[in-house]
A and B are shown apart, each in its own frame.
Chain A
Amino acid sequence: MSISIKLKKGLDLSLAGAVATPQPDDAPMVTPATVAVTPDDFAGFIPKTEVREGDTVKAGQPLLRDKNTPGMKLVSPVAGTVKAVVRGERRKIERVTVEVNPDGEAVRFDTAKAANNAEAARALLLESGLWAFTRQRPYDIVTDPNATIRDIFVTGFDSAPLAVSRHDFTADTVSRLEAGVRLLATLTKGKVYITRRPSQGMPDIKGAEMADITGPHPAGNAGPAIAAIAPVNKGETVMTLSLDTLWRIGSLLTDGTVPAVTTVAITGSEVKTPHMARTIIGADMADLLKDELDDTPRHRRIISGNVLTGVAVPADGYLRFPYTQVTVIPEGDDVDEFMGWASLSTEKMSTSPSFPARLFGKKRFKPDARLHGGRRAMIMSGQYDKVFPMDILPEYLVKAVLAKDIDRMEQLGIYEVAPEDFALAEYVDTSKLELQKIIRQGLDYLRKELQ
């Protein structure tokens, strides 16, 4: 039994630097020297330190706890020594770095009760740090453990540019996913939905309602799936998580430890040979990208994640949540382009047919990070709608957010969206508005005013 959803709106960006073999038999294991936990990745999590510099930690031992939610932790993915608690402006904790000790121990969690007891399940997830890997709508923040969860949506594939979805569904993987679903089912009176591509080869996962989704990006995001199955109404809360997180939850139940290994797609036009690599979550980029980048000297942008929703990190930065992709593209601030607005170059990537690349069929582009234009008021209309597969008027919602009009935001569906839903709209916008930032600020404002 599965739901079938066909999305028409959206956009698949055709970028250079895709992984040639998405399911290698032996993706190389990159063991980083240090790993970092970055609390900014977990919106709504207000970090307080649990450790000091120099402390020895086990894998799975808490590094940070949330100030407002008792019991919610972020744990160290590896055993080692706390190298630094890096603070930024106003002593805000930016990250905690841990020097890896390959021979260290891991915390073993008591998982016996969790599979059929909501209280125990919640406590286990909070303590193991995996609760923080989930998101809730409204507000797109780490799920509030006290909220009544209407349904749970697991995104089973990643449709973002150059992203690689999980294809290997061995018996072991499936049993772990099923264990994860059993635990999630205790948290909600509703259903656990898992989205998948029909082509992905994912079998039905026992206990979950499968949703087959076809269509372009953002098909893999939770937003369109929720909108098509059961939109979030005012006062309701749904939980969203990725298939990786579900697998981690299942593995925690199976093994008693939090799995720290992650498979990362190293992608982008600046990478010599894009490939899959295995590493530890939060690994440092210097190790991960060693000898991977093109030799030409130019400015580059290293993105942890995809080009739409990822985070730009410095060359000595760290792999950020959700720990599945790295994209390296040219920065472009060292390029002088004469009258770029008049260009008829076939290298220019655009949805507009005024660029001749459209005439030459499918081509893989190497875009850089430039805005390609000045910031303007919203001039063109209907641009966002074309890439926004939900029954929401994105333009009006953005305007309501800019006006800080809470009633209007509610009426126009602010509870149903996350910033990532606006990523494609932000890409196509000729006025170059920072839509994801605007929506994030709107969600934060709403949460502050209403709670």
Chain B
Amino acid sequence: MDKARPAFEPGGKLHAFRSVYDGFDTFLFTPRETSRSGVHIHDSMDSKRTMIIVIVALLPCLLFGMYNCGYQHWLACGATEFPFWEMFLYGLAAILPAIVVSYFVGLGIEFCVAQWRGEEIQEGFLVTGILIPMICPVETPLWMIAVATAFSVIFVKEVFGGTGYNIFNVALVTRAFLFFSYPAKMSGDSVFISHDSILGLGGMAPDGFTGATPLGQIATSGAQNAAEAAASLQGVNGQAIDLWQMFLGLIPGSFAETSTLCILIGAALLLATGIASWRIILSVFAGGAVMSLIAHWCATPTYPASFLSVGEQLCLGGFAFAAVFMAPDPVTSCRTNTGKYIYGFLVGAVAIIIRTYNNGYPEGAMLAVLLMNALAPLIDYCVVEANVRRRLRRAAARS
């Protein structure tokens, strides 16, 4: 790397790629830059490692998503045998193009902006880039992912100043952009299951199976009581699904958000390394549990989703994924400790409210996090003002 450096310095012929070179250099070698002011030693932790740990925490979900993608496809084809590796490879082949597109578009824009600003490439998109395909239905067309990724990287992140300055979670805005721009492609019966055979793996799925997510099913079921609501939850093969399956995640859904188990494994890693705020994760689940308990007590046929039990509410849809990987995003969540409790609780409660009391939106986690992203600064403002008032009162008491 050192040999190649002169070409990238100002005046070198590859100067236009300076930020790319810096990005790779700091990726491969720890920067030699030493402290020039203030403390003489720094903690070995940096934002690169932080981001990489988040990606590692996402891996169980991603790998399970690949397996589940194949599994759902096999189910849809009416298969009776489920070859593990074939299903896994099928899922891998289904998701890989989306990951490549997401990284290619997102990192491409980041590289260009970094070069234009004369800055080092920052690693914020590493996590966003993997999150985007993970929270989209597997059948989302690649061009849509490209358009949505470009939109959110430019208008949600870069216009605000880049990594660390965005107001909304970039990956979730990508999802929301897709959801509102191409509603037909982002919800309904068929997008959550991969239909065609890929690279010779799998078969052609017949038309007419129900591939809606459990939350989608119950929203349109018109169930009159809890038993009917439970009966409306069916797997792709038409058989009822129970809480255990929901927890394991062998159900239709966005690519990697179905398995609460894998999400909890990721959460354990994030909490053990202190990267995600336990205050937020805990209070999201608390908020979700309290709200679903209330909804369950006041269950009404007008809103069939209110028949779901607390456990089902927390395991279904993107709730757990949002609680662990979306809500605690440090940049867009509350930054004060008190604020984190309030923010998390409201994310959980609002997610359940939206999904239960609005049959038009079978899933509320995405919108809840985005809404609370917008409100987080307000919550923080109130917490900070409390600190300020304490100080003013103290001064007034002395004089």
Cβ of A244 < 8 Å from any Cβ of B? no
Among the 9-residue stretches B220-228, B271-279, B355-363, the one with 4 or more Cβ atoms under 8 Å from chain A is B271-279
* Contact B45–A350 (Cβ < 8 Å): yes
Most buried by A among B32, B41, B161, B392: B41
For chain A, the count of residues having a C-beta within 8 Å of the partner chain is 73
Among the 9-residue stretches A32-40, A67-75, A338-346, the one with 4 or more Cβ atoms under 8 Å from chain B is A338-346
Q: Which residues of A contact B392 (CB under 8 A)?
A: 411
Given known contacts A331-B34, A374-B31, A423-B38, is B330 in contact with A381 (CB within 8 Å)?
A: yes
**In the complex, A312→B38 CA distance in Å?**
10
* Contact A378–B164 (Cβ < 8 Å): yes
* Contact A369–B29 (Cβ < 8 Å): no
* Contact A369–B47 (Cβ < 8 Å): no
Given known contacts A333-B32, A368-B34, A372-B42, is B52 in contact with A342 (CB within 8 Å)?
A: yes
Cβ of B185 < 8 Å from any Cβ of A? no
**In the complex, A419→B37 CA distance in Å?**
11
* Contact B277–A382 (Cβ < 8 Å): yes
Q: Which residues of B contact A234 (CB under 8 A)?
A: 395
Residues 395-415 of A at the B interface (beta carbon under 8 Å):
395-396, 411-413
Given known contacts A371-B34, A371-B35, is B122 in contact with A354 (CB within 8 Å)?
A: no
**In the complex, A381→B340 CA distance in Å?**
10
Q: Which residues of A contact B161 (CB under 8 A)?
A: 377
Q: Which residues of A contact B120 (CB under 8 A)?
A: 374
Q: Which residues of A contact B272 (CB under 8 A)?
A: 353
Q: A35-69: contact bitstring with B at CB < 8 Å (1 yes, 0 no)?
A: 00000000000000000000000000000000000
Cβ of B298 < 8 Å from any Cβ of A? no
* Contact B387–A371 (Cβ < 8 Å): no
Q: Which residues of A contact B42 (CB under 8 A)?
A: 367, 370-373, 426-427, 429, 432
Cβ of B337 < 8 Å from any Cβ of A? yes
* Contact A373–B35 (Cβ < 8 Å): no
Q: Which residues of A contact B36 (CB under 8 A)?
A: 434
* Contact B34–A377 (Cβ < 8 Å): no
Cβ of B39 < 8 Å from any Cβ of A? yes
Q: Which residues of B contact A431 (CB under 8 A)?
A: 47, 164
Cβ of B53 < 8 Å from any Cβ of A? yes
* Contact A393–B387 (Cβ < 8 Å): yes
Cβ of A83 < 8 Å from any Cβ of B? no
Name the contact of A370 in the complex, choosing from B30, B274, B340 (C-beta under 8 A).
B30
Most buried by A among B53, B124, B165, B335: B335
* Contact B40–A338 (Cβ < 8 Å): no
Cβ of A171 < 8 Å from any Cβ of B? no
Q: Which residues of A contact B273 (CB under 8 A)?
A: 352-354
Chain A nearest Cβ from B238, distance in angstroms: 45
Cβ of A29 < 8 Å from any Cβ of B? no
Cβ of A443 < 8 Å from any Cβ of B? no
For chain B, the count of residues having a C-beta within 8 Å of the partner chain is 58
User: Secondary structure at chain B's binding surface: helix, strand, loop or mixed?
Assistant: loop
* Contact B39–A341 (Cβ < 8 Å): no
Q: B388-399: contact bitstring with A at CB < 8 Å (1 yes, 0 no)?
A: 101110110011
Cβ of A286 < 8 Å from any Cβ of B? no
* Contact A231–B394 (Cβ < 8 Å): yes
**In the complex, A285→B32 CA distance in Å?**
26
Cβ of B33 < 8 Å from any Cβ of A? yes
Q: Which residues of B contact A381 (CB under 8 A)?
A: 277, 330, 333-336
Chain A nearest Cβ from B383, distance in angstroms: 8
**In the complex, A369→B330 CA distance in Å?**
27
Most buried by A among B33, B37, B45, B331: B45
* Contact A349–B41 (Cβ < 8 Å): yes
Most buried by A among B28, B46, B165: B46
Residue of B nearest to A416 (CB): B391
* Contact B34–A411 (Cβ < 8 Å): no
* Contact A341–B394 (Cβ < 8 Å): no
* Contact A301–B50 (Cβ < 8 Å): no
Residue of B nearest to A342 (CB): B52
* Contact A377–B43 (Cβ < 8 Å): no
Q: Which residues of B contact A341 (CB under 8 A)?
A: 27, 30, 46, 48-49, 52
- Give me the 8 closest cross-chain CB pairs, A-B, nearest first: A373-B46, A377-B164, A340-B30, A436-B38, A381-B335, A233-B395, A341-B48, A369-B34
A-B contact pairs, 10 of them (CB 8 A): A307-B40, A307-B41, A310-B40, A333-B34, A338-B28, A339-B30, A340-B44, A391-B390, A432-B42, A437-B38
